[in-house]
Amino acid sequence: MAACGHPVAGAGQLAGQLQTAAIGLADQARGQARRVGGPAPAAVAPVHHAAPAGDGPFRRYAVTADGISPMSVPGETGLAYTADGLEHDPAGAPSSRAADHKAQLDKRRRKLLTHDYGPDWAQITGAADAKLCLLTFGACRGAVVEAAGRLSAAGLAVRTLALRLLAPLQQEALLAAIGRARVLVVEQNHGAQLYHYLHAEQALPAGAHSLAKPGPLPLRPGEIAAAAAALMDSDGDSQ
């Protein structure tokens, strides 16, 4: 539960900071549980606020270097604007001009891709030179960490990597964290969605394997450890 609450709080902060929507994914079992935890982490930066307007209309969607535009809230004199679901110009007026579309789309992409998401993009355990990396996300992390403990006790050095930020995917950091290890992507769904997503983003090294299983029965550490051992045995790398 605590591991679930932290990303949700962080996503809320990111949404405010980056002026964007944040989508949180939670396992249904977590959604039906309740737990009183510690306070959410403090906001990392204040929301951008607007400067006083000049004579022209307030440029709510001004194209800026960091992609984050000035924003006002109702009640601030001279800073009224319409938030439009249609693509718009820097003042918020609906626009069908290609230049406006590209400028606004570029701005949104820029702010998401250039933002420094810090170290919270993933939870990582184990040595960097481990032979095997168990890669997962969400509620599977507990079973994966336990499986890694069993494998380590049996003499196989394992690194675990649980993604907290799925998009924008921190591809370079992910590949660096995997290093030269074999990868087993562990996830609780029928279609191996994470495995396919990471492949599509070219964020997995060659030879990565998948362990995917649908609910409702949870993945157990023993299943994961067995699958990992079988993978390493097939390579002749088990110790």
Partner 1 sequence: MTVGDDAANRIAERHKASIPSLRAKDYKSDVKPVWCPGCGHFGVLAALTKTLAYLELPPERVAVVSGIGCSSRLPAYLAVHGFHGVHGRVLPLATGLKAARPELTVIAAGGDGDGFSIGGNHFLHACRRNQDLTYIVMDNEVYGMTKGQASPTTQPDWCRSKLTPHGTGMRRFQPAAIALAAGASFIARGYAGDPNGLTRLLAAAIEHPGFAFVHVLSPCRTFRPEQQAWKQLVHGCELGPAHDAAEAAELIQRDDGLGLGVLFEQEIPVYTAGVTADAADTLTTNERLAAIEAEHCR
Residues numbered 161-190 forming contacts with partner 1, rule: CB under 8 A:
none
Report the Cα–Cα distance between both ends of the chain, in Å, rounded.
Answer: 35
| Identity of the residue, 91 or 166, whose beta carbon is nearer to partner 1 in the bound complex | 91
C-beta of 163: minimal distance to partner 1 in Å?
30
Torsion angle, alpha carbons of 165, 168, 170, 175, to 10: 100
C-beta of 83: minimal distance to partner 1 in Å?
5
Residues numbered 93-132 forming contacts with partner 1, rule: CB under 8 A:
93-94
| Identity of the residue, 77 or 239, whose beta carbon is nearer to partner 1 in the bound complex | 77
| Identity of the residue, 45 or 86, whose beta carbon is nearer to partner 1 in the bound complex | 86
| Identity of the residue, 88 or 164, whose beta carbon is nearer to partner 1 in the bound complex | 88
| Identity of the residue, 92 or 126, whose beta carbon is nearer to partner 1 in the bound complex | 92
For CA atoms 178, 169, 29, 208, give the dihedral sign. Answer: negative
Rounded Cα distance, 135 and 204, in Å = 10
C-beta of 133: minimal distance to partner 1 in Å?
41
Separation in Å, CA 156 to CA 98, 123, 179, 208, 228: 56, 20, 16, 17, 10
Q: Give how many residues touch partner 1 by CB under 8 A.
A: 17
| Identity of the residue, 37 or 94, whose beta carbon is nearer to partner 1 in the bound complex | 94
C-alpha 182: how far from chain center: 22
Phi-psi region at 54: left, alpha or beta (left = phi > 0; alpha = psi -120 to 50): beta
C-beta of 95: minimal distance to partner 1 in Å?
10
User: For 81, which DSSP code?
Assistant: -
C-beta of 22: minimal distance to partner 1 in Å?
17
Instruction: Say which residue the tokens 């362990």 belong to.
Output: 211
Q: Which positions from 58 to 97 touch partner 1 by CB under 8 A, shown as an x/- string?
A: ----------------xxxxxxxxxxxxx-----xxx---
Exposed, middle or buried: residue 10 (CB in 10 Å: 0-12, 13-18, 19+)? Answer: buried
C-beta of 72: minimal distance to partner 1 in Å?
8
| Identity of the residue, 31 or 85, whose beta carbon is nearer to partner 1 in the bound complex | 85
For CA atoms 89, 94, 98, 103, give the dihedral sign. Answer: positive
Residues numbered 41-60 forming contacts with partner 1, rule: CB under 8 A:
57
C-beta of 96: minimal distance to partner 1 in Å?
10
Quote the tokens at residue 19.
């002026």
| Binding positions for partner 1, rule: CB under 8 A | 57, 74-86, 92-94
